[in-house]
Amino acid sequence: MTATPRPGTPAAAAAQHRVPGRRPPAPPSPALHRPPPAPAEKDRTVSNVRMAVTLEEAPWLGWILVKALMRFAFMVANNLVAISSYICYVIVLQPLRLLDSKRFWYIEGIMYKWLLGMVASWGWYAGYTVMEWGEDIKAISKDEAVMLVNHQATGDVCTLMMCLQDKGLVVAQMMWLMDHIFKYTNFGIVSLIHGDFFIRQGKSHRDQQLLLLKKHLENNYRNRDRKWIVLFPEGGFLRKRRETSQAFAKKNNLPFLTHVTLPRIGATKIILNALVARQENGSPAGGDAKELDSRSKGLQWIIDTTIAYPKAEPIDIQTWILGYRKPVVTHVHYRIFPIKDIPLETDNLADWLYQRFIEKEDLLSHFYETGAFPPPKGHEEAVSREMTLSNTWLFLIQSFAFLSGYMWYSIFQYFYHCLF
């Protein structure tokens, strides 16, 4: 006999809603409704997943590490034999410098080109290649020109060393303007001998550095038969100067730039004033973009050069040397301006330079959105050219470097034993 629940109790309320002949549902099983895992248990799960991924990637990461160490060892050996041999050859050739200065600097330039070719080979064999866009600068490789290049990372220099190798003697007759910190690198002694200029950044050094640059051009550019100058007008890396540049633009009602910074005028003005030949009426004498066979004396061309990296992720010198990043195609865009169309007055030159970097901003924005540079005006599509290096030529210059290193070592060893 079943007891009747007392009215007003929870049991009585449940009995009112009970269907006759149907057993009440069983209470939920604890196994089907487990509480969420504790934070410590969740962390252990994530850690186990990460460990599994890491274990799967371990062989690949190990190979990357071994390859990086091997590349670093080769780079050190390459620098030791190549730079030492370059210095020894330059010392031995000093009598030729007194007798025939032009021939001496020609030979030095060839060795300088080979050294830069070795640096280019480090990236080439790691799969870091270059795709060129815009106008063909080979057509003006024998004329005097200034390259104005945007600056994102140390890899910009390596990229230029690579893409200019197939432009005749441009690299051999080139002068670089670079940050003074490069003077203290392994390549600094080579740049000092070749006649590159190291510029110190900062307002406190600016006026003095411009005077030194003017004197350097007067003493070294013509005397050493230089043809091209590479200049980074922004005065520093994009990541370091972007905020300062944007603040300056806001203050002076200039365009807000993201992919480049506003250029500095000083070095460009010094170069143009020192190297542009003047006509009798005082206007600059220079080439015509439609008549590339012009051979008037003095600086003739400005090459507006824009470097773009996929996903806006630039390559640095460490990556170039160690090769731990996956193969990357760097894109370089050229525009050629005849010097006679460049204003030399300070205010007009500043406006002209600002306009070039505003155009660079548009070029880079289009590239990052589409993966290609826009076509030039009047054309439906842009044409790109894959830049290549000869593996045979790279092998020969590397072999020459190591054989030269062995030769100079043997010579020094012979004299050492003779003296001691």
The pLDDT tens digits of the residues spanning 354-368 come to 999 999 999 999 999
- For the chain, the structural domain boundaries read 128-280+296-390
Q: How far apart (Å, rounded) are the C-alpha atoms in residues 164 and 113?
A: 10
Residue 43 · residue 150 · CB < 8 Å: no
Alpha carbon 176 to its chain's center: 14
Which carries the bigger pLDDT value, residue 367 or residue 17? Answer: 367
Which carries the bigger pLDDT value, residue 267 or residue 280? Answer: 267
Strands 174-179 and 197-199: parallel
3-state helix, strand, coil in the chain (%, to 5): 55, 10, 35
pLDDT of residue 295 exceeding 50, the answer is no
Give me the DSSP letters along 257-313: -SSS-PPP-HHHHHHHHHH--B-TTSPBP--BTTBTT---SS--EEEEEEEE-GGG-
CB burial readout 268-287, b (16+ within 10 A) else e:
bbbbbebbbeeeeeeebbbb
- Mean pLDDT value of segment 114-134: 95
Helix intervals (H) in 93-216:
94-99, 101-124, 155-163, 188-194, 203-216
Residue 240 · residue 172 · CB < 8 Å: no
Confidence of residue 349 (pLDDT cuts 50, 70, 90): very high
In order of 58, 298, 334, the CA distances from 141 in angstroms are: 48, 14, 13
Neighbour tally for 384: CB within 10 Å? 16
Residue 315 burial (10 A CB sphere; 0-12, 13-18, 19+): buried
The pLDDT tens digits of the residues spanning 85-102 come to 999 999 999 999 999 999
Q: How far apart (Å, rounded) are the C-alpha atoms in residues 202 and 96?
A: 40
How high is the pLDDT of residue 348?
A: 92
Reference 297, options 276, 269, 272; nearest CA is 276
In order of 68, 260, 357, 368, the CA distances from 364 in angstroms are: 31, 9, 10, 6
Reference 216, options 203, 226, 201, 205; nearest CA is 226
Confidence of residue 373 (pLDDT cuts 50, 70, 90): very high
* Angle, in degrees to the nearest 10, between helices 346-370 and 266-275: 120
pLDDT of residue 408 exceeding 60, the answer is yes
Q: How far apart (Å, rounded) are the C-alpha atoms in residues 128 and 323?
A: 9
How high is the pLDDT of residue 352?
A: 95
pLDDT of residue 190 exceeding 70, the answer is yes
The contacts found for 46-52 with CB under 8 angstroms, 24 or more apart, are none
Residue 335 · residue 134 · CB < 8 Å: yes
Retrieve residue 87's tokens.
């210095």
Q: What type of residue sits at position 180? A: H
Name beta bridge partners: 385. 132
In order of 2, 30, 43, 46, 315, the CA distances from 34 in angstroms are: 35, 6, 18, 19, 51
pLDDT of residue 35 exceeding 80, the answer is no
- Mean pLDDT value of segment 186-207: 86
- Mean pLDDT value of segment 93-116: 96
Q: How far apart (Å, rounded) are the C-alpha atoms in residues 15 and 18?
A: 5
Fold designation for 128-280+296-390: Glycerol-3-phosphate (1)-acyltransferase (3.40.1130)
Q: How far apart (Å, rounded) are the C-alpha atoms in residues 305 and 311?
A: 19
Reference 296, options 309, 304, 287; nearest CA is 287
pLDDT of residue 398 exceeding 70, the answer is yes
* Strand intervals (E) in 342-391: 384-387
The pLDDT tens digits of the residues spanning 56-66 come to 677 777 878 88
How high is the pLDDT of residue 293?
A: 42
